[in-house]
């Protein structure tokens, strides 16, 4: 590659490399109840990112000494398939996967009524089939739908999205290419009806003003994801709405 041929990620008129505007999210498709042997499940296609989530529980906590006497133990297992990234990923759990498991668990736990099920455990299995940026955001959003499908009581759905800084501009919903080339990445998980942030991370460098702008952008993005989540729930359970006779 000649050094004069540097690819621009954002065009002069503010269009990104995949044709999106700066504050436009990728096409998102959620689906509930895709697995038979779990208590609840969800699948998401978030642009080119594809993630499958299965939830087991609340069930008896094993090993028993890890059970908590006052609440359910929530555990997330984030895993990337070897074929999920361009370079083959070693199937052994990496540092990044362990960290993301913890981060995702902590983003979801405030939404769950864990105190309803003392001494039990709720396990969330996240399988990233194809990764193209924002996998933690997609995982959190899909996992909260899988929790709904499992019938676990929750305060609100958790919607999540990331804002990045690319070529000096703030962009909503960063994809892999922008994440790698960009100056900063800031994912957030949010419970819209509670106006509560359950996850906020940032790497790279941004100014205070940019941070405040990012927060507005993140909230807007989360509301859009929230809408998609509600639509997915509605289309999955719509058959039940016409319920006429019940005991």
Partner 1 sequence: MTTFFEPRQLVSPGTLLAEGNYQSGFNVYRDNGKYYASMVGLADIRNNVVSVIPLRGCYIPQPGDVVIGKVVECISTAWMLDIRSPYQGVLFASEFLSKPLNPLKEEARRYLDIGEMVVATVMAFDRTRNPSLTARDHGLGKIHRGTVIDVDFTRVPRIIGKKGSMITMLKKETGAQILVGQNGRVWISGKSRDEEAIIAEAIRKIEAEAHTSGLTDRVREFLVNRRR
Judged by the rule CB under 8 A, the positions of this chain that interact with partner 1 are 39-40, 57-60, 69, 111, 113, 116-120, 148-151, 153-157, 191-194, 229-230, 233-234, 237-247
Strands (E), 81-222: 120-130, 159-166, 169-172, 184-191, 196-200, 203-204
State how far the alpha carbon of 239 is from the alpha carbons of 79, 127, 169, in Å: 33, 29, 44
Q: Which two tokens stand for residue 204?
A: 């790279």
Q: Pick the closer one to partner 1 by CB: 165 or 236.
A: 236
Q: Pick the closer one to partner 1 by CB: 125 or 226.
A: 226
Q: Pick the closer one to partner 1 by CB: 203 or 231.
A: 231
CB of 149 to partner 1, least distance (A): 6
Q: Pick the closer one to partner 1 by CB: 119 or 177.
A: 119
Look at residues 57, 65, 76, 53 and name the one whose alpha carbon lies nearest to residue 117.
57
Question: In this structure, what DSSP letter does residue 164 have?
Answer: E
Q: How far apart are CA 27 and CA 102, in angstroms?
A: 27
Q: Pick the closer one to partner 1 by CB: 209 or 246.
A: 246
CB of 110 to partner 1, least distance (A): 12
CB of 244 to partner 1, least distance (A): 4
Strands (E), the chain: 28-32, 40-46, 49-60, 73-80, 120-130, 159-166, 169-172, 184-191, 196-200, 203-204
CB of 57 to partner 1, least distance (A): 7
CB of 51 to partner 1, least distance (A): 20
CB of 198 to partner 1, least distance (A): 13
Q: Pick the closer one to partner 1 by CB: 95 or 238.
A: 238
DSSP lists the bridge partners of residue 191 as 196
């Amino acid at each position: 590659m000649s050094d004069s041929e540097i690819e621009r990620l954002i065009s002069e008129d503010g269009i990104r490399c995949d044709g999106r505007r700066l504050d436009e999210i990728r096409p998102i498709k959620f689906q509930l109840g895709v697995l038979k042997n779990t208590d609840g499940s969800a699948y998401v296609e978030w642009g080119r990112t594809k993630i499958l989530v299965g939830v087991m529980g609340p069930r008896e906590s094993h090993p028993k000494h890890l059970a908590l006497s006052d609440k359910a133990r929530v555990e997330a297992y984030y895993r990337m398939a070897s074929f999920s990234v361009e370079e083959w990923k070693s199937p052994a759990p990496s540092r990044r996967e362990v960290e993301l498991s913890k981060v995702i668990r902590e983003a979801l736990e405030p939404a769950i009524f864990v105190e309803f099920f003392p001494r039990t455990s709720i396990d969330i299995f996240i399988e990233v089939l194809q990764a193209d940026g924002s996998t933690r955001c997609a995982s959190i959003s899909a996992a909260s739908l899988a929790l709904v499908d499992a019938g676990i009581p929750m305060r609100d759905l958790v919607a999540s999205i990331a804002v990045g800084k690319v070529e000096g501009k703030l962009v909503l919903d960063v994809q892999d290419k922008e994440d790698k080339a960009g100056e900063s990445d800031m994912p957030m998980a949010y419970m819209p009806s509670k106006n509560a942030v359950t996850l906020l991370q940032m790497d790279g460098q941004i100014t205070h003003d940019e941070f405040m702008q990012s927060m507005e952008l993140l909230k807007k993005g989360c509301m859009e994801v929230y809408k998609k989540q509600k639509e997915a729930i509605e289309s999955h359970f719509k058959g039940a709405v016409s319920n006429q006779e019940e005991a």
